[in-house]
Amino acid sequence: MREILPGLYILRKDRLATRSPSQEPLYGEQIVDGLRVWDPRRSKLASLLLRHHCLEGVVPSGKVLYLGAANGATVSYLSDILTDGLIYAVEISPRAMRDLLHLAERRENVIPVLGDAARPETYRRIVEPVDLIYQDVAQRNQAEIASRNAAIYLKPNSLMVVMIKAMSIDSTARAADIFDEEIKRLRGVEVLRRVDLPHHRDHIAVIARKVR
């Protein structure tokens, strides 16, 4: 086991782990030597972190806008390593929001936001400028959503990580073509890297920096 970022560890070659404030599983995960095992087969962010340390400079005290937080499983791991930071977890589903609210009761650094990531102006009163935007939404206009949120909330020269889901954009076109076109639609950011994600077919991660 070795620490690759503050509070983030590699267990063997294909597993990550975080140190949780609680020794109890939150989402049915394994606890090994006091660490929560983070399975890259179940989390695209974990899969990305095994290949690229995109959270460097953000943990442990940065502010993150998480778009498409779902039930909060990946949010909970970010919560473990952002020990002095904050996560604004935006989710459109009221059912998933109930799970996020339950997580927030146990984690003071998680702020659930019931809202549509495609309408970032609607949560201006809640969300402040952030050091990282992480997006994992299943809507068709993924690049547009990321660009609009970055324009409002991302600090200059800060990073954005967008998980592009080809099947959510077009189920008939080649995934590689969809990725190329969606990257071209990103606005106000400089694309730094695209990363294939093992265990997550027809997905890529795009890492970009706000240029102004």
**The predicted structure's pLDDT at residue 3:** 92
CB atoms within 10 A of CB 118: 17
Q: Whose CA is closest to 92, among 137, 141, 130?
A: 137
Q: How far apart are CA 96 and CA 13, in angstroms?
A: 31
Buried b (16+ CB within 10 A) or exposed e, 126-158: ebeebbbbbbbbebeebbebbbbbbeebbbeeb
Q: Which CATH architecture has domain 41-210?
A: 3-Layer(aba) Sandwich (3.40)
The pTM score is 0.96
Give the pLDDT confidence score for residue 62 in this predicted structure. 98
**Other C-beta atoms lying within 10 Å of the C-beta of residue 3:** 11
Is residue 130 within 8 Å of 65, Cβ to Cβ? yes
Residues of the chain with pLDDT under 50: none
Rounded to the nearest 10 degrees, what angle do helices 175-184 and 142-153 cross at? 30
Given this model, what pLDDT does residue 34 score? 87
What's the confidence (pLDDT) of residue 21?
84
Question: Which amino acid would we find at residue 145?
Answer: I
Residue 80 CB contacts under 8 Å (≥ 6 apart), including other chains: 7, 18, 19, 20, 21, 36
